[in-house]
Amino acid sequence: MQGKTCLVTGASSGIGAETALGLSRLGARVGLVGRDRERTEAAAAGIRAETGGQVDVFVADLSSQAEIRRLAAEMLGLYPRLDVLVNNAGAIFDKRTLTVDRRERTWALDHLAYVQLTLALLDRLKASAPARIVNLSSAAHTRGRIALDDLDAARSFGGMKTYSQAKLGNVLFTYALARRLAGSGVTVNAVHPGVVSSGFAMNTGGALGFLWSLIRPFLISTEDGARTSLHVATATELDGVTGRYFARSRETASSALSHDRDLQERVWAASLQQLGLADGTA
């Protein structure tokens, strides 16, 4: 990874911070994206202290479309190349809340942000090819269903239900994008990191937050949780491998529904419509 530049979202803690650390250990220049400047700066300082690598900090709330546009412009102004994009930021919420763009925030943060940021950086990734995009999904996608007529959960919201929909959206987006990137030198794959002992659900409150606090001591470490992301981002044997789903650093099968090409295209179109992107460009 010497001489390569990588961007990791949700990198102020947890899997994202471990992924960024792993990339820096391999010699890459790494950009950390976090919502909280103090925490993101602290994570960057820790990585620099351990690896001596070049680490940059970007601050943005990825549930906001305007913030993503600003982040992309800032990153493009700083980085002449981008070799790896890891869409890692995500959360689960106990209550339905709308973002500044009037979108349900699970769908906005866990799915639409992947789509918008990736498309905004796609030309830079293509110019840097061979390049890789890694989308953090979850095994929860297997329980997901896409409510195309209720993506913002106005009629039916449930913390895990809505999260599972977004994680299915990640896989559908990955497969639809892989087709569009064929021959470009840019690959895109989805990963399940495992059920990781992180701060993922600690701020949700309610039953979800309580359940997470109970099971958290029995989950895998953030270091173990980052292994699959790092493998898919860096392994030489995955050169040219695209449109796949990985768990435990091995290619595995995603849900049957995720392979529904018509659904992939319908979610692609609906996502662009929600983002105000008529033709897939940002």
Catalytic residue ranges: 163
Q: What is the DSSP string of 113-152?
A: HHHHHHHHHHHHHHHT-SEEEEEE--GGGGG----TT-TT
Please spell the DSSP secondary structure of 3-39, one letter per residue: T-EEEEES-SSHHHHHHHHHHHHTT-EEEEEES-HHH
* DSSP three-state, residue 155: coil
Q: Is 237 exposed, middle or buried (0-12, 13-18, 19+ CB in 10 A)?
A: exposed
Any bridge partners for residue 29, and if so which?
Answer: 5
Q: Which of 148, 60, 152 is nearest to 101 (CA)?
A: 152
Reduced to 3 states (helix: H, G, I; strand: E, B; else coil), residue 225 is helix
Residue 237 CA to residue 53 CA, distance in Å, equals 25
Two tokens at 277? 């992107």
CA distances from 86 to 96, 116, 191, 241, 269 (A): 26, 13, 10, 16, 22
